[in-house]
Amino acid sequence: MAGDPRDAVITGIGLISTLADGIEAHTRILSGAERPTPLLDTETYAPYPVHPLVEIDLSTQIPRRGDQRQMENWQRYGTYAAGLALTDAGLAGETEFLERMNLIVAAGGGERDATVDGDIVEGWRQAEDPGAFVNDRLMSDLRPTLFLAQLSNLLAGNISIVHHVTGSSRTFMGEELGGAMAIETAWRQIRAGQNDLFLVGGAYNAARYDMMVFLAMSGGLWTGDDVPDVWHRTGQDGGMVPASMGAFLVIESREHAEARGTKIYARIDDVVTDRGARDRSERYAARIARQVERLNAAAGSAALGLLSGASGAPEATGLEREMIDAMSAGRPTFVRGLGSLMGHGMEAQMPAGVALAAAALADGAFYPPFADADVEAEATEAPSTIAVTGWGSWRGESLTILGSES
């Protein structure tokens, strides 16, 4: 379909989650006649369930064992998903393109060594000289290289080393909003004519004690073996189920994509990111209105697919549902809550949602309901516009709007 040469289009997708390895496997599973049952670990961090990653063969995208060993799991997941996206876009090993490809990563902090942390706390309590004990352990266990391995931009570094992506590099922190802003930055630079080729995405490892402790202390986790769909986790009964995930996208200008003759999944029509207090003030209402206005401008009154990144966190999920109701006014809208089947992948949540939206638009179809809740109705037609929302677990609102190429 003809369009503006400065359109930002998605040409490659790499996605791994608790459901599947690769975008084709995801769309096949999510589009099946039977609703999939995601992997769920209810024992390791009881009473808090997590969605572990499906089994993957790291060597297919990270061939060198030495590279695998020096990464933490979240870096492995991201580097693997980045490789899938490059392969899908036909760019793996293509030096001409890789050396000028711009990399934008959304990532949190590195993983702590829970065993070392526990030993230090236990030893400190029993030490005759706690200060000397801590200094000694700092010199032996908490090495400078360990701190370096925990830097967020190490994911970008590993992607550059393994896949030879050597253009500019940026890393966004900020949980769910970080993933949305990574996509927004690529979209804005392409629209402005500043760059033509990006690799964008994020990764998260849910199977880590430090983050489980942090999230549990915030009161934002679901407890118990029986996990309902995300829409039934609101109010005081709410809680998110963390999920391991890696999601990367190759985003190009239309002109660049067409010049190299590659397939186009979908067009990115708009990206809106915002943050502020969720206090129902006039400023809050203005932020909501801004997102609705931008969606109306992009989608009009035609049927809309809406993939929600709702986390299940108590307050945030209820507010996101209110936002979705406002977006649904005046048009047929088919809502799907990613968290019901994929869990919550923090920085990777928005890239994962955009990946699934792009794949659905390329297929000319939409997914069956992910939940039995009244908010998720069967799609009576295939939408040509799909919106992906992300309100996270606490703060940071985002909206990415994709349009069909057919």
pLDDT in tens, 125-172: 888 898 898 888 877 776 554 555 457 788 999 999 999 999 999 999
pLDDT in tens, 82-132: 999 999 999 999 999 999 999 999 998 776 667 777 788 888 888 889 889
On whether both 122 and 184 belong to a single domain, the answer is no
pLDDT in tens, 313-328: 888 898 999 999 999 9
Looking at residue 2, its pLDDT comes to 59
Structure tokens at 194: 């500043």
pLDDT at 1 over 50: no
> For helices 209-217 and 114-126, what crossing angle results, to 10°?
70
On whether both 34 and 103 belong to a single domain, the answer is yes
The answer to whether residue 133 is domain-embedded is: yes
On whether both 203 and 128 belong to a single domain, the answer is no
On whether both 20 and 61 belong to a single domain, the answer is yes
Q: How far apart are CA 201 and CA 347, in angstroms?
A: 8
On whether both 101 and 118 belong to a single domain, the answer is no
On whether both 171 and 42 belong to a single domain, the answer is yes
The answer to whether residue 36 is domain-embedded is: yes
The answer to whether residue 356 is domain-embedded is: yes
Angle (CA) 241-106-238 rounded to 5° is 20
Q: Give whole-number Cα distances, 283 to 130, 174, 325, 389, in Å.
A: 49, 21, 19, 19
Instruction: Choose the final residue of a domain: 259, 278, 296.
Output: 259
Q: How many CB atoms lie within 10 A of CB 388?
A: 28
What CATH number is associated with residue 390? 3.40.47.10
pLDDT in tens, 56-79: 999 999 999 999 998 989 999 999
Query: Among candidates 197, 202, 196, 160, which has minimal Cα distance to 181?
Result: 202
Higher pLDDT, 406 or 2: 406
On whether both 254 and 318 belong to a single domain, the answer is no
What domain range is 200 assigned to?
8-112+147-259
Asked if omega into 314 is within 30° of 0 (cis), the reply is: no
Which run of H or E residues covers position 249?
A: strand 245-253
Looking at residue 142, its pLDDT comes to 61
On whether both 212 and 293 belong to a single domain, the answer is no
Q: How far apart are CA 233 and CA 224, in angstroms?
A: 12
- The CB-side HSE value for 147 (13 A sphere, CA atoms) comes to 7
On whether both 80 and 206 belong to a single domain, the answer is yes
Which run of H or E residues covers position 250?
A: strand 245-253
Q: How many CB atoms lie within 10 A of CB 192?
A: 9
The answer to whether residue 75 is domain-embedded is: yes
Q: How far apart are CA 100 and CA 252, in angstroms?
A: 12
On whether both 31 and 171 belong to a single domain, the answer is yes
Per-residue pLDDT, averaged over 17-21, amounts to 98
CB of 110 within 8 A of CB of 149? Answer: yes
pLDDT in tens, 270-313: 999 999 888 889 999 999 999 999 999 999 999 999 999 999 98
**pTM > 0.75:** yes
